[in-house]
Each structure stands twice: as structure tokens, then as C-alpha cells.
Amino acid sequence: MRPSMSNLIFFENGLKLLPAEADIPRAFFEDENAFRQIARAWFCTGITGAAFVPKEGIDKQRAIAHLSAVLRSFDPSHEHKMAGVAYLMSEWFERVDLPHTRPQPRKGEPTNPGAAAKRNRKNKWRFSDAKKG
């Protein structure tokens, strides 16, 4: 299946954008599958900042639009949708690097203490403020 740009705006065509459930290898129905974990993260929280590395001959933007349309569609069951998106990702991309998979500082290495302070300044509401109510 090649990425398609037709009917991507409307969510009712989700089944047409996926391979049949019987054609998807069983491995993509398992939670341990790396591409399925990416599909779940994309569905649940979004994957802003992810780096998609397409296979040769794949139009990256079309493939992402195709997968996004499937994730937004109402037609396929959730299991079929997650497995199908994971399977198509594995067919179209060498890998998908998520922002939170970047190496974290090792124990004892300095981190950026200024970032936590800045984050605390932005978040002016505190739990103690709710108690004062």
C-alpha cells in the first residue's frame, strides 16, 4: 500500500486507508512492537517533534498525512487502527525518532537547573492557592 492523499480530510474513509486486518502481521497487534508504541503515543498524546526517516521512494509528507488521517478516522476498530498504523509505519519508514527518546543525562552529569526554575516561574498557579479559595 502506498501513501494516498485522496480523501484524507474526511474521517469516514479510515478503512479504505488501511490494509485488511487479516493482512497485518500479528506482531503489530502486540504492545511490545516498537512501531505500535509509536502509533499509540501518536494517538494518545501526539508526537510533536518526531523525526520520521522515510524509506527510499516514500514521500514523507504524504505518508504522515495518510497515517494521521487513519488515526483521526472513526471507521476501524481501535485495535485495527493501531496495528494498521504501526504496520504501515514499518513499511514506509526506516525509523521514527521521538523527542523523549533522546539520550538523558547520566547520573551525576549536570542538567539545566535554570530550565526548572523558568518552568516554575511560568506556572504561577500553585496547589496552595486552591486551598485559600
Q: pLDDT by residue (tens digit) across 14-61?
A: 667 888 999 999 999 988 888 999 999 899 888 888 889 999 999 999
- DSSP H or E stretch at residue 93: strand 93-97
Predicted structure pTM score = 0.66
Count of CA atoms in the C-beta half-sphere (13 A) of 112: 6
Q: What does the domain layout of the chain look like in residue ranges?
A: 26-103
Answer for the pair 5, 70: CB distance below 8 angstroms, yes or no: no
Answer for the pair 65, 54: CB distance below 8 angstroms, yes or no: no
Instruction: Label residue 102 by pLDDT band (50, 70, 90).
Output: very low
Q: pLDDT by residue (tens digit) across 104-122?
A: 445 555 555 555 445 445 4
* pLDDT greater at residue 15 or residue 90: 90
pLDDT at 4: 53
The stretch 50-76 carries a mean pLDDT of 90
Mean residue pLDDT across the chain: 75
